[in-house]
Structure 1
């Protein structure tokens, strides 16, 4: 009996993996195995059996690994989690310090590519920390966070181009307007939970995008808004003409594009650090404790006398505030915005960063954004480097097509993380304030009290 049981388990796992491989073959054969190429007679389909075999084989092996992982006992899994948690908490502050020093020193490299990439990563980190207030702390699933991102971007663009206001004046206004829309969204969803809440927030994000696309008299419709002014440093503009009133003319140096790029990098770094500081401070205040109570059990939260309505509205409003800040920075960095920049994919990406990093974990969100946004670019550069060194067009072709499979890679990462670490890369759902360790009452004292 003891010999037959493991054999039956192995046969079941193998059969399950084969079924998964067959399903993957049906799904990815037309998506990965076929590609359109242009030739003398127009477009034609070209088969890629090697790529299909790699995908199907990866699914087969991955399913076997997942089943073997699930074969461990719950006691082993929980003991492993308890062993990892203290180490993560102990090393977290050192990792955060190293990342902060690296972020401050990055512009010293002088590489425009890495500065632009780090600016993009910091934008997603800021969005992730803002959404973490709503999803991680308050436990409200928001699939339309890109709406506040769009409101902040368009608020700054319209205020700056219409009234001639500067970036530092429009930045708080854009955040306040985004927070106002967050509160307006919170009112209709006060009685909704779970999937119903997610559906309404998803609809809200799509409504905002459609309004921006069709309100041509205000937003210029699909043509977008161009000529958005750049931020200044104490009134000094980063102009390529130089002269009085410019950054280069004031310091007596030649104007260069890299100066503006470095300044924008430090602006988003400061905004991201502000978001992190405010989030950490809020979770230690009574408002943050109310968010955590709402996340754990709304019924118990009501029974404790906490105003659930105000708690939800403040979570939506403050989370939208930082989304509006990030949107205003996005508008001034790009100098052009359109409704196509604020699709559902952006909301899904930010939510994936929060889930992969760990709900309510600031460090986990930062690491997930670095891996998901910067790691994909690093992988593409590595494949291009291999193609150049080995003179192989295959690696160069994979590198060029890698952005097309971006969401596929994100989905695969989510599946792997949900199996291996369901609570994210770094679990942060421990309450900010907890009771002290329970002390056992000696038996003799209990006996005396009974006597």
Structure 2
């Protein structure tokens, strides 16, 4: 089969599969085949997918170790909640505001920190993530430690599904563009990339901003699904959860990030009654992955039409 026809066939299959998943889940929600417990975990899974894929842009494709992703999620959550609760703005405007605010926070944090490398960068991003949490905790107008309560539940399955598709399309198009080739070259050898004329700091900051903005998207959806947001929700442990998803799935694999987010969400649901055990298991998973499968489940591979090329009479 000609390459162009294979591409169109693969696109058609993707559209049909996505439409099928969306319709099936929407039907199960409408007919209450999925009770409240499963709907909550479905929402958590969708939000975790967005967080995992967005952090993978920074840690996986750009090669910069960020440990403060929950801070950007917090910015998106709080800004969007203020927009709907205090300013009575439409939900879609609140989502956009949350994304832009988180991206701006990413720029403010990224400009000074992304000149650092390795462990220094990790410590700096961890510190900034905690700074965001502490600031929110000490602003009485935002509820202080109690956070913001009584947020309208505006996040529905269409919003969650649309946000996942939007996030993956944005990331994959970026990675397959000149921008993607530039940040991957930064990951592979930053010095060589600079010698080739690539403005490495600019590309790192831009990737950081995009990842932060998408984390803000996840935060906005989170705030308007779970009614309440508190600074403690966005502590280091949340950033660690997201990091585990990225490492488990494979640094540089969007498919791996999605699969790992699904796995971790299901595991978390089963271990809700044992929070201490949950963190031990997370740490154990991370250690085992580092020892036996350091590249993660998929490494930097993706499930694409080439993976299933045998169905079209050979490799694509």
TM-score after normalising by structure 1: 0.60
Task: Tell me how far 1:104 sits from its aligned partner.
Answer: 4.6
1:422 corresponds in structure 2 to 294
Alignment partner of 2:184 out of 288, 292, 300? 292
CA distance in 2: counterparts of 1:416 and 1:102, whole angstroms: 32
1:352 corresponds in structure 2 to 244
Task: Tell me how far 1:98 sits from its aligned partner.
Answer: 6.3
Segments of 5+ residues of structure 1 without an aligned counterpart are: 1-93, 232-262, 381-399, 431-451
Alignment partner of 2:222 out of 330, 337, 342? 330
1:164 aligns with 2:36: no
Q: 1:362 to 1:100 in 2, by over 3 A?
A: farther
2:24 corresponds in structure 1 to 105
Q: 1:352 to 1:98 in 2, by over 3 A?
A: farther
1:221 aligns with 2:144: yes
Q: 1:288 to 1:140 in 2, by over 3 A?
A: same
Instruction: Say what the alpha-carbon RMSD is for the aligned residues.
Output: 2.2
**Paired residues of 1:167 and 1:229 also in contact (CA < 8 A):** no
**Paired residues of 1:148 and 1:323 also in contact (CA < 8 A):** yes
1:183 corresponds in structure 2 to 107
Deviations 1:182-212 (A, max 9, x none): 0111111132000000000000011000000
User: Residue 333 of structure 1: SS of its match in structure 2?
Assistant: coil
Deviations 1:347-370 (A, max 9, x none): 000010000000121111111111
Task: Tell me how far 1:97 sits from its aligned partner.
Answer: 8.2
1:276 aligns with 2:168: yes
Deviations 1:245-268 (A, max 9, x none): xxxxxxxxxxxxxxxxxx712211
Which structure is larger by alpha-carbon Rg, 1 or 2? 1
Q: Which structure 2 residues correspond to residues 13-162 of structure 1 after superposition, within 5 A?
A: 101-102=20-21, 104-109=23-28, 110-112=33-35, 113-162=37-86
**Paired residues of 1:153 and 1:330 also in contact (CA < 8 A):** yes
Q: 1:364 to 1:98 in 2, by over 3 A?
A: farther
Q: 1:414 to 1:96 in 2, by over 3 A?
A: farther
1:364 corresponds in structure 2 to 256
Task: Tell me how far 1:337 sits from its aligned partner.
Answer: 1.0
Segments of 5+ residues of structure 2 without an aligned counterpart are: 1-12, 303-316
Relative contact order, higher structure (CA 8 A, sep 6+): 2
Q: 1:171 to 1:344 in 2, by over 3 A?
A: same
Q: Which structure 2 residues correspond to residues 400-439 of structure 1 after superposition, within 5 A?
A: 401-428=273-300
**Paired residues of 1:96 and 1:363 also in contact (CA < 8 A):** no
Deviates further, 331-340 or 349-358: 331-340
CA distance in 1: counterparts of 2:16 and 2:249, whole angstroms: 18
**Paired residues of 1:230 and 1:332 also in contact (CA < 8 A):** yes
User: Residue 226 of structure 1: SS of its match in structure 2?
Assistant: coil
User: Residue 425 of structure 1: SS of its match in structure 2?
Assistant: coil
CA distance in 2: counterparts of 1:402 and 1:326, whole angstroms: 25
Deviations 1:349-407 (A, max 9, x none): 00100000001211111111111111343x56xxxxxxxxxxxxxxxxxxx85333111
TM-score after normalising by structure 2: 0.85
How many residue pairs end up in the alignment? 286
